């Protein structure tokens, strides 16, 4: 009735799949001749950041200053904080750099704000490297490459004694609205051309633009041509998930992350209740409204058609094809593994990864969550 293992719910990472995903992206970066600066916002793990660089504390991207601190404490020295920095954050960034020796590169998209950030940096005795955020059509943040503010901002950053111009960057979040690989490739071309156009414009007015950085897992995996790009910042590629599978950038067998959960009961309504709910799985839904697909029952692959239909805070409603009696397939106490819709959100409520591998010893790796 039961299977040994840690108390449920917990995350398991298939290290062999993870290693394959990491190696695939390293090859892509090498083939295009670009630097790989993985975004650690998905996995938030020092062990995975090291593995992403073949064991080195290489260049990384982070989404919070707590991540920056966590990785800096672990020896990472070149960290991009990929959320626009305001003056209020500069003291924390300065303290972080002073305590760890890490170089933190920041983003800017407005000249007035950048001037205030530069003044703060200067008063902390810093000269902060800055990437200008370019909007390549996603519409979240940044300047369009033809925005007349772009050269003004570039010049200000270059000339400010508290800042240095490191280059330009973009994020093609619209890749997640694609339905197939061809659409992703079109977004990748948009991403490259907008970023290269911005770099060219700045170079044309005599500014140095050493870094031309793009980043999203779908475009990094599928782009044909990265001419003019110097750096890629994919993050989700480390785990992948059902959202990536839905837009054809991977198959379900490439997903390294699973939620392990136990069957708690069977309800006359036809569902099995499991102990992974909205927190352990996240509220991100798949195309047909499910909260995850069952990939394994115990140690064996699950038959198709088992999914989490609904979630409460700590409980999931596991359903199968209409008419299937789950009480025989999934007795109470059975452990099942659920593939996540969105690995970034699913992993967020968990503190640890249980590492499984055919070629390495089992292990437990820590995640860093929160902000401060």
**Nearer of residues 1 and 361 to a copy of itself, judged by Cβ:** 1
Min dist CB 268 to a copy of itself, Å, is 8
Instruction: Specify which residues 309 forms β-bridges with.
Output: none
Residue from 33, 54, 101, 139 that binds a copy of itself (CB under 8 A)?
139
List of residues 6+ apart from 363 with CB closer than 8 A: 47, 355
Task: Tell me if 160 contacts a copy of itself by CB under 8 A.
Answer: no
Task: Tell me if 200 contacts a copy of itself by CB under 8 A.
Answer: no
Distance CA 83, CA 79 (A): 12
What is the enclosing helix (H) or strand (E) of 309?
strand 307-311
Min dist CB 141 to a copy of itself, Å, is 5
Task: Tell me if 7 contacts a copy of itself by CB under 8 A.
Answer: yes
Task: Tell me if 362 contacts a copy of itself by CB under 8 A.
Answer: no
Q: How far is CA 87 from CA 71, 326, 371, in A?
A: 23, 56, 17
Distance CA 133, CA 136 (A): 9
Residue from 32, 233, 258, 350 that binds a copy of itself (CB under 8 A)?
350
Residue from 57, 74, 181, 279 that binds a copy of itself (CB under 8 A)?
279
Task: Tell me if 333 contacts a copy of itself by CB under 8 A.
Answer: yes
- Residue range at the interface with a copy of itself (CB under 8 A); choices 43-51, 203-211, 243-251, 282-290: 282-290
Residue from 20, 179, 203, 267 that binds a copy of itself (CB under 8 A)?
267
Task: Tell me if 349 contacts a copy of itself by CB under 8 A.
Answer: yes
List of residues 6+ apart from 36 with CB closer than 8 A: 25, 26, 29, 52, 53, 58, 59, 231, 232
Q: How far is CA 133 from CA 106, 111, 149, 200, 226, in A?
A: 10, 12, 12, 15, 18
What mask of x and - would describe binding to a copy of itself in positions 246 to 265, judged by CB under 8 A? ----------------xxxx
Sheet bearing 78-81, strands edge to edge: 35-36, 231-232, 211-214, 163-170, 128-134, 103-108, 78-81, 60-62
Task: Tell me if 140 contacts a copy of itself by CB under 8 A.
Answer: yes
Pairing state between β 300-301 and 231-232: unpaired
Task: Tell me if 345 contacts a copy of itself by CB under 8 A.
Answer: yes
Exposed, middle or buried: residue 55 (CB in 10 Å: 0-12, 13-18, 19+)? exposed
Task: Tell me if 84 contacts a copy of itself by CB under 8 A.
Answer: yes
Residue 125 DSSP SS3 = coil
Residue from 113, 119, 309, 329 that binds a copy of itself (CB under 8 A)?
113
List residues near a copy of itself by CB under 8 A.
1-2, 6-10, 41, 63-65, 83-84, 86-89, 92, 109-110, 112-113, 116, 135, 139-141, 144, 147, 173, 262-269, 273, 275, 278-280, 282-284, 312-315, 317, 332-333, 344-345, 348-352, 369-372
């Amino acid at each position: 009735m039961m299977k040994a293992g840690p108390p449920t719910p917990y995350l398991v990472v298939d290290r062999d799949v993870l290693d394959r995903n990491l190696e695939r992206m390293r090859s892509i970066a090498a083939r295009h001749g670009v630097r790989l600066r993985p975004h650690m916002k998905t996995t938030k793990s020092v062990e995975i950041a090291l593995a992403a660089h073949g064991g080195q504390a290489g260049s990384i991207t982070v989404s919070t200053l707590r991540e920056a601190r966590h990785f800096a404490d672990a020896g990472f020295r070149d960290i991009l904080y990929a959320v626009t920095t305001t003056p209020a954050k500069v003291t924390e960034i300065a303290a972080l750099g002073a305590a760890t020796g890490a170089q933190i590169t920041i983003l800017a998209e407005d000249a007035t704000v950048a001037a205030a950030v530069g003044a703060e940096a200067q008063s902390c005795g810093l000269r902060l490297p800055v990437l200008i955020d370019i909007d390549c059509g996603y519409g979240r943040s940044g300047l369009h490459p033809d925005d007349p503010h772009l050269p003004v901002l570039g010049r200000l950053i270059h000339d400010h004694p508290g800042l240095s111009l490191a280059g330009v960057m973009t994020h093609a979040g619209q890749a997640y609205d694609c339905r197939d690989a061809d659409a992703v490739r079109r977004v990748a071309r948009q991403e490259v051309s907008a970023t290269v156009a911005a770099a060219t414009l700045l170079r044309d007015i005599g500014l140095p633009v050493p870094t031309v950085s793009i980043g999203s897992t779908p475009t990094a995996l599928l782009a044909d041509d990265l001419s003019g790009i110097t750096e890629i910042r994919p993050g989700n590629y480390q785990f992948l998930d059902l959202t990536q599978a839905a837009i054809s950038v991977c198959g379900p067998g490439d997903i390294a992350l699973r939620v392990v959960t136990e069957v708690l009961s069977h309800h006359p309504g036809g569902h099995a209740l499991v102990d992974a709910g909205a927190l352990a799985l996240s509220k991100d839904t798949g195309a047909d409204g499910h909260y995850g697909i069952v990939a394994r029952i115990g140690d064996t692959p699950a038959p198709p058609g088992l999914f989490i239909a609904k979630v409460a805070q700590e409980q999931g409603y596991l359903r199968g094809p209409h008419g299937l009696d789950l009480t025989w397939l999934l007795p109470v106490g059975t452990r099942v593994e659920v593939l996540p819709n969105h690995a970034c959100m699913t992993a967020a409520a968990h503190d640890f990864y249980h590492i499984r591998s055919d070629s390495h010893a089992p292990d437990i790796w820590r995640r860093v969550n929160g902000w401060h």
